[in-house]
Amino acid sequence: MIITNSARQTIALGKKYAAELKLGAVLGLIGELGAGKTQFVKGLAKGLGIKNNISSPTFVLLKKYNQLIHIDCYRLSNSEELLDLGWQELVTDKNNIIVVEWADKIRKIMPQDTRWIKFSIGKKDNQRKISI
């Protein structure tokens, strides 16, 4: 378990973790609201050389930044909604890195080799516990 004490540290962790990723990777992020998932994705994007401002795609569900596909399943009521948006094509395209927030909501359609990352809020303000 890794503990970060600020959004900046969570972003830095994501940036560092990006160096370990290869195209075709799928990350499943799980954790409560405000636990640091989107901050981590901001760091991943920086580590991948993406200059865009990263925000949670809660209302649009999916955003694509070069080779990074960022999905937020918070508002989904079932996994079929994601299947209707071309999920199978996305996960079979090995030219992307896919990051799914609230991935536990679609666990049954996540690829078997998904890298699961769990986020939780720590005891101190801004503290996050991250299990990779």
CATH code (residue 41): 3.40.50.300
Tokens of 53: 């401002």
Residues 24-39 pLDDT 10s: 999 999 999 999 999 9
Structural domain total, the chain: 1
- Print the domain residue range for 22: 2-131
Report pTM: 0.92
DSSP string, 89-111: HHHH-TTSEEEEETGGGGGGGS-
Residues 48-101 pLDDT 10s: 999 888 877 766 688 899 899 999 999 888 888 888 888 999 999 899 999 999
